[in-house]
Amino acid sequence: MEGCGKVLCKETLGDNVKETEYAVRGPILDVAAEVTELLKKGEKLPFDKLLYCNIGNPLSLGQPSISFYREVVSVALNPKLMDSPEISKDAKDRAKKFLEEVKYPSAIGAYTSSPGLLSVRQSVINYIQERDGYPSDVNKIFLTDGASDGIKSIFNILVRGPQDGIMIPIPQYPLYTALIRLLNGTAVPYYLDEDKEWGLDMKDLEENCNKAKADGKTIRAMVVINPGNPTGQLMSVETLQEIIKFCQKHKIIILADEVYQKNIYKDKPFVSFKKVINDMGKPYSEMELISFHSTSKGVSGECGLRGGYMELTNIDEYVFSQLLKIRSICLCSNVVGQLIVLVLNNCID
């Protein structure tokens, strides 16, 4: 023990922990909680309620949950509800099929394989193949507790120390800077241009990459949030192609955060990185890509049930085995979250 007299205290924590910041939860949220308590006690303020908009959390703002999803989950958790006239036949059929997959009714409370139930991963594959028109491998899908869980796993194997740089967009979702700092890596920013509808400046991207390399950093990956969070922009196919060429040139992995792919206007369609690298042909179709999606977004907004997946494309088999090992430490993602992935229309609504 050091001068503070405890094994764990401010003096004994590592700098990587103390210097990690996560803007969507922190001092501002603490103040908001204090204000909420004042309102509950009847204190007069210039407003009578507080809306928490620090994170995308629609159900907490009053968006009703979609009853069908909850019916299926309810029956799967409590098969006695199969006899309830208040539960739709379709929901009962979905729950029954899921329970057959896990072998016996109580097994929804049991661990699954570390990547997740095969039938759920197959539903993910069906969704991806219908979306992109290219084959996917069910064995390269990991079900996760939301997208952030998968991102954390990938960063754990990417970042070896401060010499490793991860390129991240600015503005960005603060998860990325927080994880990079926690793992003692280096965030290498690239800037989105507000005057160009938060578009990407390839010259700026190249300059920031080269500067980091000149400073002795090894650029390991580039995070692309598309559709953008918090900016909301939707990248064109041409922009995706430019990013792919850039990453192929510099030999870095693309990390595609695509969780808002259903939160778009129909006149401007979403196109995935998986589709574009395949459309471009070799050598681009052989590039390393990891894509993330979540049940927290779309129209479901099921943030708290923590469902999601990541797909690994062209990832080295040894690296895959190491990732499987890391994922196995936590045994599996939560099974209710896996069920929600399965229930949503064509996997993710």
Q: Please write the tens of the pLDDT for every residue from 254-265.
A: 999 998 888 887
Segment 55-95, tens digit of pLDDT: 777 777 777 778 888 888 888 888 888 888 888 888 888 88
Q: What is the DSSP-derived secondary structure letter of residue 231?
A: T
Please give the Cα distance from 87 to 65 (Å, whole number): 16
Closest among 165, 161, 173, 308 to 228, alpha carbons compared: 173
Question: What is the edge-to-edge ordering of all strands in the sheet holding 253-257?
Answer: 141-144, 308-313, 289-294, 253-257, 218-225, 164-170, 186-193, 199-200
**Cα of 7 vs its chain's centroid, Å:** 34
Instruction: State the pTM of this model.
Output: 0.84
Distances (CA, A) of 10 to 15, 19, 89: 10, 11, 56
Domains of the chain: 15-54 (no CATH), 67-109 (1.10.287.1970), 118-343 (3.40.640.10)
Distances (CA, A) of 187 to 67, 297, 345: 41, 26, 36
Query: How much of the chain, in percent, has pLDDT values that exceed 90?
Result: 30
Q: Which helix (H) or strand (E) holds 151?
A: helix 146-158
Please give the Cα distance from 295 to 309 (Å, whole number): 9
Segment 30-59, tens digit of pLDDT: 788 888 888 888 888 888 877 777 677 777
Q: Which of 136-145, 173-182, 186-195, 249-258 has the lowest mean pLDDT?
A: 173-182
